[in-house]
Chain A
Amino acid sequence: MRKMLGIFLGLLLATTQLLAQNRTLSGKVTSSDGSPIPNVSVLVKGTNIGTTTTTDGSYSLSAPEGAKTLIFSSVGLIQQEISIGNKQTIDAALKTSDEALQEVVVVGYGTQRRGEFTGSVASVKGAVIAQKPVQSFEQALGGRAAGVQITVPNGVVNNPPVFRVRGTNSISLSSYPLIVIDGVPTYTGDIGGTNAPTNPLASINPNDIESIDIAKDAAATSIYGSRAANGVVFVTTKKGKAGKTKITYDGWASWSNPIRLVDVLDGAQYTAYKNQALRNSNLYNDNAADAVADMYFKQATGPNGQPVNTNWYDEVYRTGFSHNHSISVSGANESTSYYFGAGYTNQEGILKRNDFKRQNILFNVDSRLNKVLTVGGKIAFSNELNIANGPTGGLSGEGFTVAGLGRTAVVNSPNVSPYNNDGSYNIGSQYIGVQDNVGISQVGFYNPVPLLDLNRSDNENNHLQANIYVQVKPFSWLTLKSLYGVDNIYLDNESFQTPVHGDGRTAVGSATSSYTKPKTWLWTNTAQFNYDFNTVHSMSLLVGSEQQRRTSKGFGLNRQGLSDPQFDIIQAGYNLNNSSGLVFGENYMLSGFGRLNYNYDKRYYVSGNIRQDEYSGLGKKKGTFWGASLAWEVTNEKFWESTGLNNILSSLKVRGSYGKVGNIGGIGNYESYSTYTTSLYGGIPTLGLGAIGNPTLAWETSTKTDVGLSFGVLNDKITFDVAYYHNDIDNLILGVTQAPSTGLGSINSNVGRMYNKGLELVLNATPIESKDFSWTTSFNISFNKNEVTSLAPGLDELPFSTSGNELTNKTLPGYSLGQLFVVRTGGVDPATGRRIFYTKDGSPVLYQHYVAPGSGQFNWSNPDGTSHVPITQAADGIIYAPTQPKSYGGWDNTFRYKGFELNALITYQTGFYLYYGTQAGLRDQRYWNNEVGVLTAWQKPGDVSKFPKPYYNDNVSNGSTMPISENVVKGDFLKLRNLTLSYTLPAGLTKKVGMTNGRFYVSAQNLAMITNYPGSDPETSTNGGENSGQGVDRNNVANARILTVGLNVGF
């Protein structure tokens, strides 16, 4: 094709030379760094006359008389027009699209120049997240963009973070923003079918990302209509850049460790302390001679004759070693650009047997066949292994699982060993064996060692993301584009539970495998009209249509009852076979959309977006969504310079937007139907009313208002962005519970209301910039206020139970989403050593777990010693503290000195509280191990201690039976999230060895933190991304500190 084109152009040149009197123009085309660019097309505007630059970037061209303008263009470079005038020599410096990306924002079905964009969008360059030790790119976004809140729930690898744009914008549906990768919306959340979390966004190698644009307001998001309420994140992968073929290698290795594990009692301390608690409860008995059964704790003796002192942290956690390698080959000539990237990563988590491995390739190609026709596309394929041994305790719903590793490590007694002295596993009838403890029926949950050795809960994700497009530009003002994309996931889940110990015991071994295929195809057709007239009017219009089809099918098998203990795969011998993981779903969305941008003289900007979506999953299928915005570029006003205002402010832009968008994220495929489902009755097929549908179910609606101001001072050395937003969310879908005597559960209906409003400030500055030294800094802070204004009729409050077990949060009108709901406590009574609880109306009630017979005392008593009815959460719990942060943000600093660069990212959140439920466990007076603080527990009248007098089996004073305010802690933190020191080899040196660049770095994640939070990390979520269950740390896995060394080289 290229050859044909060359011949064709040559013929053209030959023809035109005969026709007109010509003059010769010449020049050189360079990139912005001055290096020559070959193969750039140089064309006389309005004709077919042209040539291409040679290897040294020069060209020579015979132009007809009357030729006014030359057009320089190449794939991957920004086209430039230069007027000829009287000049003979015309040089051009072309910007690469990389640089151009800093100047454009991705807005959905196209890009727009940043300066002309009137919506609210935060952009993050791919480079800043490329070499971070994360599994998916969004884990590294925290603190980097105003209005974007990222919470990494714990140290379990590939756990999807809580990702919020401008607050939580739904209650029952997803609050995760829509993620659009190269034009194709993709899947989010944990799609895995095992205990190993599987974030589909981890399929993208962060190294392959060019830019991330996070659209926040109605103007920026409404082009995605019914899916835009949580914001839209546009991810653009890398494309080839003009110039000779570039080869890069990026590699890093990292070591991760759990941070801030709470100190717990050792074997001797545990034994002594628990025995004291037994004595206090009058249960201790080591007198073999009497008639009462002996009961006391006794440290086991290990094979070396020494007392056993097991540190269960060592059995569960580890130093995780990870390494990552990416190579890319890219380049472009005048007609074709290409980017080929391949990556391999093998990441170990801080928990044993918790790994993430990925092999991925990405191929992006764009080819301009002629002036009119461009075709291109991409293929991205990724193979990921997510590995866990079973429940880690780190996923939503795992908070109370006794197999949870995070929980086991703090509960199990340090006075027993994972092994018996003969080397066998220490296993009791159900839980870990009690070894030498006497008369104690249980000293922990499962022994994690055999579970880590023998169990697995893995999945393999093969993820294909591909698209192809054709673009026709018949006239300079018209671009037609058709894009077809697929996003297919092939997920293979596989787990095994040993019959030896743990959850597989009663089933005598259990293996579950399933195969699930979520698939998407998408076809987008757009027409873009650009028209400028009278030099001051500039207009562009986009119209388009889109269809998106998603299907999901899955099937699987659960087998139980191992026929031979040696087996551990599902294909082996079992007694019992059952289906598992049956999935069938389909949905379809049909959309039409349009966008009109107009500006007058680059001073006044108007923009409007409209989209109509029809979605199969809804009862009311059709919805229209829109956003409109205005902006005033004050700097371009004539009075700006004439009045000298430009001396004060180097730039000033005011903008505002308003619109209505929707949310359907996470809605079921058949929510509008009432269906009869099948089951079995003694092996006979049955049919019965299953789900009750709502034939009028519609999308949730967000009405968004946004007002913004951007200005710069000192020639834009310092720039400020300020934005105020208000998002009114209506028609929130909530399950409207019917009285159970109707025989129905809840029916999803559009009933709730809530709002988020807030302020965002961004400051970018380059305080120092000299030849050798520079300092650039970027600070952002976001304030958000969330309030639920109404729930459903008859639904005064929406309780949220952590892992279905402990009522921790309540959502109710007049409060922010998911407030903590606890019973107030007031320390320990110095006179009696009892925990002080408060009734709902605030009167103190003392609790003592053990009451000696005949003492005249009570479990629950008033301060005067008289009996009081038991305190319960139902009667005495109050809405206690908010879980949504009032403010959050980041401060990024980069210092450069010659080849050295030091980057420090500080992130913070303030004004929120956490229910640190793990602490209830760490102070539980059953056989559970305790934090070392209990050694300072109250002993005698007058003692002032945080810890009540220990009574064995007391699980009330510590908050195990009901959440108490003692375990609610302010979560405010300031974190040195990332610190990177790098050195870039001098250009001269790299050139000598044939490299284009070379860079080495060392980096640390979560290096330091300022917080009063006593747990591992206040940035935590036991309930994952659950909207109304945030702010809970219940038996969660710790977070990690990661040290990384790496290098980037280019050839």
Chain B
Amino acid sequence: MIIKEITMRNKIYAIFFGLILTSAGACKRELLNPVPETSVSDVTAFDTPDRVLSQVNGLYAQLKGGKFYGGRYVVYNDVRGEDFTNVTNNNITAADLWSFSINGSSATIMDTWARAYSTINQCNLFLEGMAETGTAVVGEAKAKNYLAEAKFIRGLSYYSLLQLFAKPYWDGNGSQPGLPLRLTGIKGPGSSDLVRSTVAEVYAQVIADLNSAETDLPLTYPTGATQAFTNTTRAHRNTAIALKTRVYLSMRKYAEVITEANKIVPATAPFKAATGIAHELQADITNVFKTPYTTSESIMSMPFTTDSRDVSGTQNQLGTYFYNNGSVGSAEFMLAVDGIITDAGWKTTDKRRSFVYTNATTSRKYLSKYTQPSPYTDYVPVIRYAEVLLNLAEAKVRTTNTVDAQAIALLNAVRGRSDATTVFTAGDFATSTALINAILKERRIELIGEGIRNLDIMRLGLNLPARPGKAETKPGESGYILPISNNELIFNTLMTDN
């Protein structure tokens, strides 16, 4: 019996020690190095053609961020002008930017600065990753297109930052402090310090990127059900050209504006791009701001769907800023009672007056270009053919110093499609300045709510409008351009404030 017991015991020990050994052997060391399953490691991000293409779309998604071109960047450029009045007095939704009392530690400043640079860095990383592995994966031809898209986005991002955070090009011919010009990808610590390049240097990079993009972008995207969508939401050759007309206008390089515009605008009406995508004005402007948002007038727009990953997010959407109808829109900014809506020449029958909506309860007027309900899926326009026409018109007048006939034709094209009863003739303009003023006014009417007004104020050197308790701000005065992000000043020791 005793012997038997010991045997049983031994068995138990054996089993038990076996368990311990198994356990020691069963430790799963591979679990110490988990492979993330919901994301892709940075080292394999260029491994397949699909991933590379997803990254290209990712660059646009960066641009589309709610703090940048997906919403707030556009809002900021509009509300710095004279046509909007802040309603909610909420600094989180740019009341302080509107009243020109903003400081560099405000999220309004810091978030947009950060998002634009995050877009730039991703472009830089993409350009480098393609050179390293991506080009071999997708082939030379595709790689050329993709690289051009990255450069386009980088150029647009730098241009956009210049409009808010640097003095205009005309001030010292670009010699004023510009932006830290980052052209290499950053993936780790240690790169914070970088001095500001001059305004001219940054513009030179923008032009270089856009020129390179023009060369290598496709003329159009493949035919099929999604062609119109892709042509509107991804850059093609005409996008780069169109954007250059805007950039050169900001630089007051009017001859170059004409050179670029002529590539896609014929000398006489009907104005329709002859190469690439056949951009032209739509007969009814309201169709441009309606689903599917992909008319040939929209050279580039930021797309949205109702998916929560594909919207610009709370307090970023144009509709919440500019609109207020029932549960749609938060009435952050109404149309200024003394703004462009009071213009007598803007007739009530003008189709664009339908974008002026009066809230029945408050009797306030709001812009109704963006009226889709939550989650606010209206596309955000980046550049429209109408702007290119007006860019060209203005450049023509400024280079010729005459009441230019083509300029009048271009102005009439924009005005006439919404207001057939108004036809400008040379007789309407005593001087070339009068024609320029008409074009500038047309821009305010045509492009309101599309993030253009501040660009015009900056390039023209206009005063910023007065606000309650604050007189007009003149160029060069404190607050004329936005303060630099506080975090940039803290963590980039070579950075200087505006």
Contact = CB atoms under 8 A, between A and B. Distances in A.
A866 interface: no
A55 interface: no
B41 A682 contact: no
Contacts of A576: 306, 375
Interface in A863-878: 874
Contact of A738 (B57, B105, B110, B189): B189
Nearest to A804: B107
B223 interface: no
A673 B39 CA distance: 10
A474 B310 contact: no
Contacts of B64: 681
B243 to A, nearest CB: 19
A549 B31 CA distance: 9
Contacts of B57: 681, 684-687
Contacts of B468: none
Interface in A671-727: 673-692
A894 interface: no
Interface in B173-221: 179-180, 182, 186-189, 191-194
B309 A679 contact: yes
Nearest to A672: B33
Most A CB within 10 A of own CB, among B193, B330, B485, B487: B487
Contact of B58 (A686, A742, A743): A686
Contact of B189 (A482, A578, A736): A736
Interface string A471-507: 0101000001010000000000000000100000111
Contacts of B186: 738, 742-744
Contacts of A670: 34, 36, 39
B58 A687 contact: yes
B308 A472 contact: no
B304 interface: yes
Most B CB within 10 A of own CB, among A11, A470, A743, A749: A743
Contacts of B110: 740
Interface string B307-324: 111100000000000000
Contacts of B36: 670, 673, 675
Interface string A574-615: 001011101010111010000000000000000000000011
Given A689-B122, A742-B182, A525 B192 contact: no
B229 interface: yes
A682 B233 contact: yes
Interface in B97-137: 103, 105, 110, 113-114, 117-122, 124-125
Contacts of B493: 794
B405 interface: no
A740 B112 CA distance: 10
B28 interface: yes
A296 B173 CA distance: 56
A12 B5 CA distance: 11
A189 B24 CA distance: 32
A740 B491 contact: yes
Interface in A621-670: 621, 669-670
Contact of A743 (B20, B41, B120, B492): B120
Interface in A53-92: none
B20 A525 contact: yes
B189 A545 contact: no
A737 interface: yes
A372 interface: yes
Contacts of B302: 682
B59 interface: yes
B328 A688 contact: no
A621 B34 CA distance: 12
A288 to B, nearest CB: 19
A508 interface: yes
Contacts of B485: 740
B19 A482 contact: yes
A474 B61 contact: no
A678 B495 contact: no
Interface stretch (B8-16, B140-148, B245-253, B429-437): B8-16
Contacts of A102: none
Most B CB within 10 A of own CB, among A505, A576, A749: A576
Interface string B50-76: 010011011111101000000000000
Given A372-B12, A588-B28, A678-B54, A688 B62 contact: yes
B9 A742 contact: no
Contacts of B13: 472, 474
B233 A472 contact: no
B123 to A, nearest CB: 9
B122 to A, nearest CB: 6
Nearest to A695: B188
B226 to A, nearest CB: 9
B488 interface: yes
Interface in A729-757: 736-745, 747, 749
B32 interface: yes
Contacts of A747: 188-189
B304 A688 contact: no
B229 A682 contact: yes
A525 B58 CA distance: 48
A373 to B, nearest CB: 6
Interface string B270-307: 00000000000000000000000000000000111111
B373 A508 contact: yes
A588 B32 contact: yes
Contacts of B330: 506
Nearest to B376: A506
Contacts of A741: 113, 117, 179-180, 182, 194, 488, 492, 495
Contacts of A505: 327
A745 B110 CA distance: 11
A508 B117 contact: no
A15 interface: yes
A523 interface: yes
A364 interface: no
Contact of A588 (B34, B59, B308): B34
A686 B55 contact: yes
A680 B61 contact: yes
A131 interface: no
B39 A680 contact: no
B41 A48 contact: no
B324 to A, nearest CB: 9
B42 A676 contact: yes
Contacts of B192: 738-739, 742, 794
Given A675-B39, A682-B229, A688 B122 contact: yes
Contact of A676 (B5, B39, B105): B39
A770 interface: no
Contact of B310 (A8, A586, A680, A740): A680
B4 to A, nearest CB: 10
Contacts of B62: 688
A674 B187 contact: yes
Most A CB within 10 A of own CB, among B38, B117, B193, B233: B38
A676 B20 contact: no
B477 interface: no
A287 interface: no
B471 interface: no
Given A678-B40, A681-B64, A741-B117, 14 more contacts: A474-B13, A482-B20, A545-B23, A549-B28, A669-B34, A682-B233, A683-B310, A687-B54, A740-B113, A740-B117, A741-B488, A742-B182, A745-B114, A794-B192
Interface of A: 8, 11-12, 15, 48, 372-373, 429, 470, 472, 474, 480, 482, 499, 505-508, 523, 525, 545, 547, 549, 558, 560-561, 576, 578-580, 582, 584, 586-588, 590, 614-616, 621, 669-670, 673-692, 736-745, 747, 749, 794, 874
3 closest residue pairs by CB, A with B: A743-B121, A682-B303, A688-B58
14 contacts: A578-B306, A584-B37, A587-B34, A588-B31, A674-B41, A677-B40, A678-B40, A685-B54, A686-B54, A686-B55, A688-B62, A691-B39, A739-B491, A741-B182
